[in-house]
Amino acid sequence: MQDYTYFDLLICIQEIREFLLGKKLAFIRGKGKDYYMGFKDSDLNLHFYYGYPGYRLTLTEQFPEENMMILGDKYGAILTDAKVSEDDRVAVLVFKKVKAKWALIFELTGKNSNLILINQSGIISYIARPVGPTQSRVRQLQVGMKYVPPPKPERLKLPPFFEKCPGEKEAYKIKSGYLLLNKDSHIPLGWSPCVYGEEIIFKEYSPYTVAIEAYYTLISSPSGSSRESIRKERLKEEFEKIKEFKKYKDFADLLLSSFPSSYVFESPEVHLNGVVIPVTPRKTVKEEAEKYYKLYKKFKRGYEKLKQLLNEEEVEASIQRTRKETPFQRKKREKYLEFISPGGYRVLVGRNATGNDFITFTLAHKEDIFFHVKDYSGPHVVLIKGEGPVSSEDILFAASKAAEYSKAGLGKIEVMYTERKNVYRVKGLSQGKVFLRTYKIIVVEK
């Protein structure tokens, strides 16, 4: 999956300045991790998504009308400025209404992406994802606090097309973008400001960030055979990322064999036997070695699980090639969404009451883990773990999906989870309604 970069943000800000500067804010709609902003006398809306992966700030002609209207007292304010923090993925839109000034800050910093509204004194009056002292020792973000920008990254990631596009790459010169599709399978591969390569189909969009929005729309809600192809491509992407897991064990072994365990590092990296090993200053050799051993074990589990899943995909693909999908099979496939957890486990999310019942009582085994938000309507979520151990990251990932697709509002959400064997249908209740004999609670941010 292609990531949104600083380069994309620079272009987006140029587009905002060209198409939206001087216009009045008509609405802000929010649901889950999606925010849409509309402006009077403009066919283009602003879309911000702070989830990971997929975080982005783009222009789009669409917006979901079912999203809740928020921050109504800000409507009618004029957009007076749009800028990007130097060498960081943070955008600032400045508004003015009568004599009052305020700003929307879009932090596109990967897993910590956020939307923050500050008044003219820099005090936070709204935040999509509050950050407390238990969540970060570096920076807290709460309503009523003074806004502090995030720490700047050591280096910014270049987009994958950067070396392939000829000519100068100033953001203000780029007026359109291209959606990249595989020539054979038509699987969306990413986006680019230029055309290159013979094995790729290019579909042009204007302005540029509409191509980014088209890419994420396709990979987020594909249908038919393309959905299965994209799922397989995602599995392969994850597999490529973690297949070098053995290097973490090598890092740990090298550190322990080269330094006393109590030695404290002063620089952010060490060079041993021609190998550059990233380390944390002020941490001991023992602490860093333990960190790398944990990473080795975690990615080894993910590697084995993804390897198994890819083999299963190949078998399923060969079966599907020999027979045409029936309407019944298509209906069965459309009952749920499917994701892959950090540890490589399948996470299933029911799309309706029938899908909820299907994933919980047909697909899940007794040792798999069931999730549901507490005190709100929402889908059944099942983590298919088999007999293998799952990490806290896997639990958090699945719980976050339960919160994301639920009807709970924004903020801290309690999610119940338990083994499937503790989940029962209740006679007399509608399909999908269940009783949990016992459960644990995990709190996630929405």
* Rg of the chain in Å (alpha carbons): 24
CA nearest 289: which of 243, 245, 244, 257? 257
Contact 423, 407 (CB under 8 A): no
Q: How far apart are CA 177 and CA 212, in angstroms?
A: 8
Spatial distance between the Cα atoms of 169 and 7, rounded to a whole number of angstroms: 9
**CATH of the domain spanning 1-177+210-220:** 2.30.310.10
Task: Say if residue 327's pLDDT is above 50.
Answer: no
pLDDT in tens, 90-129: 999 999 998 899 999 999 998 899 999 999 999 999 999 9
Q: For residues 334 and 373, give the distance between their C-alpha atoms in angstroms, rounded to a whole number.
A: 22
- Cβ burial of 119 (10 Å; 0-12, 13-18, 19+) is middle
Q: Is the link from the previous residue into 389 a cis peptide, with omega within 30 of 0?
A: no
Place of tokens 């010169």: 173
- Residue 285 belongs to what H/E stretch? helix 285-322
Q: Are 382 and 405 in contact (CB under 8 A)?
A: no
Would you call 216 helix, strand, or coil by DSSP? helix
What is the average pLDDT score of the chain? 84
d(CA 20, CA 60): 12
Count Cβ neighbours within 10 Å for each residue of 329-343 and write b for 16 or more, e otherwise: eeeeeebbbebbbbb
- Torsion-angle region of residue 273: left (phi > 0), alpha (psi -120 to 50) or beta? left
Q: Which two tokens stand for residue 5?
A: 């970069």
DSSP label of 405: T
CA-to-CA distance for 55 and 63, rounded, in angstroms? 17
| DSSP helix, strand, coil percent of the chain (3-state; round to 5) | 30, 30, 40
The pLDDT assigned to 153 comes to: 83
Find the range with the poorest average confidence among 41-45, 61-65, 69-73, 115-119.
61-65
How far is it, in rounded angstroms, from Cα 182 to Cα 157?
A: 24
Could you tell me the sign of the dihedral formed by the alpha carbons of 115, 72, 82, 169, in that order?
A: positive
Query: Which one has a higher pLDDT value, 174 or 307?
Result: 174
Question: Rounded to whole angstroms, what are the CA distances from 224 to 11, 315, 327, 331?
Answer: 33, 18, 11, 11
Least confident range from 82-86, 242-246, 281-285, 345-349: namely 242-246
Full-model pTM: 0.54
The first and second tokens of residue 150, run together, are 């995030």
**pLDDT reported for residue 234:** 58
Q: Length of the chain, please? A: 446
Q: Give the DSSP H or E segment for 269.
A: strand 269-272
Instruction: Please name which of 369, 358, 420, 362 lies closest in space to residue 394, comparing C-alpha atoms.
Output: 369
Q: Is residue 38's pLDDT more than 60? A: yes
C-alpha span between 56 and 54 (Å, rounded): 6
Indicate if the alpha-carbon torsion angle 325, 329, 331, 337 is positive or negative. negative
User: pLDDT, tens digit, for every residue of 198-241?
Assistant: 778 888 888 999 999 988 888 765 443 444 555 555 566 666 66
Confirm if 400 and 411 have CB atoms less than 8 A apart.
no
Please state the domain extents for the chain.
1-177+210-220, 240-322, 335-445
Residues 144 and 123: their CA atoms lie apart, in Å, by 6
Note the pLDDT of residue 222.
44
Q: How far apart are CA 264 and CA 283, in angstroms?
A: 5
Query: What's the CA dihedral at 41, 43, 44, 45 to 10 degrees?
Result: 80
By the 8 A CB rule, do 57 and 107 touch? no
Exposure on the CB side of residue 109, measured as CA atoms within 13 A: 21
Residue 138 pLDDT: 84
Spatial distance between the Cα atoms of 430 and 307, rounded to a whole number of angstroms: 39
First to last CA, the chain: 22
d(CA 415, CA 431): 21
Please give the distance of CA 288 from its chain centroid, rounded to a whole number. 28
Q: According to the model, what pLDDT value does residue 446 have? A: 74
pLDDT of residue 353: 87
Question: What is residue 77's predicted lDDT score, i.e. its pLDDT?
Answer: 96
Output the CA torsion sign for 215, 220, 221, 222: positive
